[in-house]
Amino acid sequence: MYKTPDLHSPLDSGATARVREPSMRRFADADEMISALEPSYPIYCLRPHVLADNARRFVDGFPGRVMYAVKCNPHPAVLHHLFEAGIEHFDTASLPEIAQVREAHPRAEAYFMHPVKSRAALLSAAKVYDVRHYVIDHADELTKILEAVERRDIAVLVRLSTPGGNALFELSDKFGAAPAEAVELLRAVHEAGLETGLAFHVGSQCGEPAAWSTALDIAAQVIGAAGVPIGYLDVGGGFPAAYSNHDVPPLEDFFAIIRERLATMPIGPDCIVMCEPGRALVADAMSLVVQIQLRKGDALYINDGIFHSMSEPAAAGVQLPARLIRPGGGVAPGMVEFTIFGPTCDSTDLLPHKVALPADAGEGDWIEFGQIGAYSNSMATRFNGFSSDTFVTVNSPPFRPVLRN
């Protein structure tokens, strides 16, 4: 028999003090940082003003509530700046993420959006951290929630699978109920006396605004067939960022198509519409500075790679904008397409694409990679003893790719 320990919430004490910004060294740009630190280790250059601009763009433009997907970049400074810019809802996938959000920002709300949760995590989420929103994609998960969570003032959102093919990272292969199952799950949540909701995720780095109207069409059929009141409609994340090999429409095109389709959804005026972006809020708010440790012909060996900040170039072929930095020194004319190896002993630790840099790039030079705010530090391992965990802030504009069209 599963037992409920007697827990006291550290947040019950009305902890509302304003949380201080995590302290980090500040520089005008990556060049100034390199001149000051001459780092032989990788450095993340965070741009708080870009986080604030991105947050405002979502809060002002998206027709509903904006939740930040913490998994994308959980650095405390990222959460801090997004919160300060008006994002007070956080999509969390685990108890540590919930704890991080709720302890650093007691006024923020954490949503437990992972469709598979342990009983212990459910118990602590509800009792210690006051979490009131959960996701399921299977009837047994609803049973688990009903058994592990005593309180009944909660909402359970049913994750619906959507057609794939539009995104670089498909998410419906692993999670999501088929429409007919989703109908049954919505009814079961309602019959259990809980507030209902429907959620989907079209996949990460989705460059097709039409993917949301297709998903919303399916959601409309599910809601119509279920015939129960819908408290929440969550259109997920997936909003794309620009990479050197991936041009994307402006965010406003996505918001417009969602707004248009929402106008005819079978939901009441009280239904809360939500989105849960990660990548589009943070990708261009951070760059990474690495140092070249050795040159062998047209190959450069650097101090970060696919086991650390650059797993996405390896997993999905995204290409990051790159520039050489050599403070106080000129570079040779002409560019060379270099192979870039990461620091570990594994021969797969290399970027799958070549990187164009000045022809005389070599040991001791630095490279800045842009658009690396999403799924970089959050995915990094400590393989071979290498780690990338030094952050500074810079005031410079985002280092975005120059795209041909």
Ligand X SMILES: Cc1ncc(COP(=O)(O)O)c(C=O)c1O
Nearest residue (CB) to ligand X, 272 versus 359: 272
Stretch that binds ligand X, among 50-58, 234-242, 258-266, 327-335 (CB under 6 A): 234-242
Pairing of strands 335-341, 355-358: antiparallel
Pairing of strands 133-136, 155-159: parallel
According to CB under 6 A, which one of 127, 279, 303, 386 is a site residue for ligand X? Answer: 279
Stretch that binds ligand X, among 53-61, 271-279, 311-319, 320-328 (CB under 6 A): 271-279
- Given a contact cutoff of 8 angstroms between Cβ atoms, the answer to whether 167 and 146 are in contact is no
According to CB under 6 A, which one of 27, 42, 91, 218 is a site residue for ligand X? Answer: 91
Binding of ligand X at residue 69 (CB under 6 A)? yes
Pairing of strands 322-325, 232-234: unpaired
List, in sequence order, every residue forming a beta bridge with 167; answer none if it has no partner: 206
Binding of ligand X at residue 286 (CB under 6 A)? no
According to CB under 6 A, which one of 209, 237, 342, 370 is a site residue for ligand X? Answer: 237
According to CB under 6 A, which one of 109, 137, 276, 304 is a site residue for ligand X? Answer: 276
Stretch that binds ligand X, among 47-55, 278-286, 323-331, 345-353 (CB under 6 A): 278-286
Pairing of strands 355-358, 204-206: unpaired
The two structure tokens encoding residue 28: 């005008």
Stretch that binds ligand X, among 40-48, 237-245, 311-319, 364-372 (CB under 6 A): 237-245
Stretch that binds ligand X, among 242-250, 270-278, 286-294, 361-369 (CB under 6 A): 270-278
222: closest CA among 184, 190, 277, 188? 184
List, in sequence order, every residue forming a beta bridge with 197; answer none if it has no partner: 157, 232
Binding of ligand X at residue 236 (CB under 6 A)? yes
Minimum separation from the CB atom of position 200 to ligand X (A): 9
Binding of ligand X at residue 171 (CB under 6 A)? yes
Burial 151-190 (b: 16+ CB within 10 A, else e): eeebbbbbbbbbeeebbbbbbbeebbbebebbbebbbbbb
Residues 6+ apart with CB under 8 A from 382: none
**120, amino acid identity:** A
399: closest CA among 61, 55, 38, 31? 31
- Residues 169-174: contacts with CB under 8 Å, at least 24 apart: 169/203, 169/204, 169/205, 169/315, 169/316, 170/203, 171/201, 171/202, 171/203, 171/204, 171/238, 172/200, 172/201, 172/203
- With 0-12 / 13-18 / 19 or more C-beta atoms within 10 angstroms meaning exposed / middle / buried, residue 73 is buried
Distance separating alpha carbons of residues 153 and 151, to the nearest angstrom: 6
Nearest residue (CB) to ligand X, 237 versus 313: 237
How many positions of this chain bind ligand X (CB under 6 A)? 17
According to CB under 6 A, which one of 239, 243, 254, 386 is a site residue for ligand X? Answer: 239
Binding of ligand X at residue 238 (CB under 6 A)? yes
Residue nearest to ligand X (CB): 237
Binding of ligand X at residue 204 (CB under 6 A)? yes
Minimum separation from the CB atom of position 273 to ligand X (A): 15
Nearest residue (CB) to ligand X, 237 versus 370: 237
According to CB under 6 A, which one of 87, 113, 122, 156 is a site residue for ligand X? Answer: 113
According to CB under 6 A, which one of 277, 305, 313, 398 is a site residue for ligand X? Answer: 277
User: Which parts of this chain interact with ligand X (CB under 6 A)?
Assistant: 69, 72, 91, 113, 171, 201, 204, 236-239, 276-280, 374
